Amino acid sequence: MKVIALIADIVQSKEIPEREQFQKKISSILSSLNNESTGVISPYTITLGDEFQAVYENADNLIKDIIHIICKLYPVRIRFSIGINVLTTELNDKSALGMDGPAFHIARDGIEILKKYDFSIIQIYDGKNDKFEFVNKSLMLNFLIMASWKENTMKIFEKLSNENKVKDMINEMDISQRGIYKIINTNKLLNYVEYFGSIKKEIKEKIEE
């Protein structure tokens, strides 16, 4: 069965202050995703001090979950390498450990490629040279732009992605309605929401080909 193996690498993890507190935060975020996200068939697991991984059955919530992690851990940056292929070992549905196969090999090779970038990024690989070329170049370009976003921009973007209304954001953020709309319009956040929605569909269609 074809699966989606995700390997994530935290950028400059050794420079993160209060690492113990950060580890608790990331553990909490990943635990929540394991409990709430559909499509995860081998749960998010911290494998090294600066890496974590998971296996998805489908791409329905893949991009949404990754965006959630990126926004919640801001300003920490994370590289996400996604390998789409098969496993040669039995699926471990308790933790994303002890599995092997092309899906993980491809994702691991992807992480090594992404280590030259110092901003949050998502790239997708399936062992072929061009199937996801346009998707990956598109993601690269957009994450280059998003690297300059401020914390409030990231928070508002995630809330818009989850279909939250501006009136509800006012109660949760220390910022005025006018300020929220200014951030949305200046950074074209509604366009980004539409973009990631389209990317989700494109990835899903290519995986199912």
Tens of pLDDT, residue by residue over 97-127, are 999 999 999 999 999 999 999 999 999 999 8
Q: What is the pLDDT of residue 129?
A: 65
Task: Evaluate whether residue 143 is within a structural domain.
Answer: yes
Task: Evaluate whether residue 182 is within a structural domain.
Answer: no
Quote the percentage of the chain above a pLDDT of 90: 80
Quote the percentage of the chain above a pLDDT of 70: 100
Task: Evaluate whether residue 204 is within a structural domain.
Answer: no
- Interval 14-45: pLDDT, tens: 888 888 899 999 999 999 999 999 899 999 99
Task: Evaluate whether residue 167 is within a structural domain.
Answer: no
Task: Evaluate whether residue 154 is within a structural domain.
Answer: no
How far is C-alpha 179 from the chain's CA centre? 27
Longest dimension (CA), the chain: 54
Task: Evaluate whether residue 60 is within a structural domain.
Answer: yes
* Domain with 46 in it: 2-148
In angstroms, the CA 90 to CA 201 distance is 29
Statement: residue 175 has pLDDT above 70: yes
Task: Evaluate whether residue 194 is within a structural domain.
Answer: no
Total number of domains in the chain = 1
| CATH of residue 11 | 3.30.70.1230
Count Cβ atoms within 10 A of the Cβ of residue 13 and give its class: 0-12 exposed, 13-18 middle, 19 or more buried.
Answer: middle
Q: Global pTM?
A: 0.94
Task: Evaluate whether residue 191 is within a structural domain.
Answer: no
